[in-house]
Amino acid sequence: MPAPVVRQYQVFIERPPDVVFGFVSDLRNRARVSATEWPEDVLTDVSSELSAGSLTTVVSSRTGGRERMTLEILEWNPPDSFSERQFEGPFAAWEHRRWVSEFQQGTLFSERIAYVPGGALGRLADRWFLSKRIDAWAQGRQAATKAVLERMARVRAGADGGPA
């Protein structure tokens, strides 16, 4: 198997690490932070508790159809990190690790995606557009996560009578 393509992303969120971890590990929020050009639906029961070995099936609607991916939780280390790998799906291999760390009264939310496109056509697609799409997908999800969590904090502060 060829060496994986590795992409890394990081965003600062003005919320505590346990809140960020709780949000990103909750299946109900997956579709909530999906980009409109790459929407996702979780087919697994979203009320399911995640743990090592859990399987999650996601359908992503993209140009040209719908792709289904089943992911298995490899590592489950709340409230710090978790990783998942593709159990079934369009890639020859896919591993996605997420972790949070306290940083300057907030959280650094980091992600690492390592993938191997399927076959020669997949490698060609990666050079032409796939890596850019994955970057846009991950960066969009991180920006949406930041926006939702920080907006929730402002709403909560306003409701409590504190500064909004």
Q: What is the pLDDT of residues 6-62, one digit of tens each?
A: 999 999 999 999 999 999 999 999 888 987 777 788 888 888 889 999 999 998 876
Report the pLDDT value the prediction gives residue 41, as an integer from 0 to 100: 84
pLDDT at 164 over 80: no
pLDDT at 68 over 70: yes
Residues 6+ apart with CB under 8 A from 100: 17, 20, 21, 24, 79, 80, 81, 107, 108, 109, 110
Report the pLDDT value the prediction gives residue 65, as an integer from 0 to 100: 60
Strand partners, 106: 103
Please count the CA atoms within 13 angstroms of the CA of 54 that sit on its side-chain side.
20
Chain centroid offset of residue 55 CA = 15
Q: Give me the percent of the chain exceeding a pLDDT of 90.
A: 57
Q: How far apart are CA 50 and CA 76, in angstroms?
A: 8
Q: Which residue has the higher pLDDT, 1 or 115?
A: 115
Q: What does R_g of the chain's alpha carbons equal in angstroms? A: 17
pLDDT at 63 over 90: no
Structural domains in the chain plus CATH codes: 5-156 (3.30.530.20)
Q: What's the pLDDT band for 157 if we cut at 50, 70, 90?
A: low
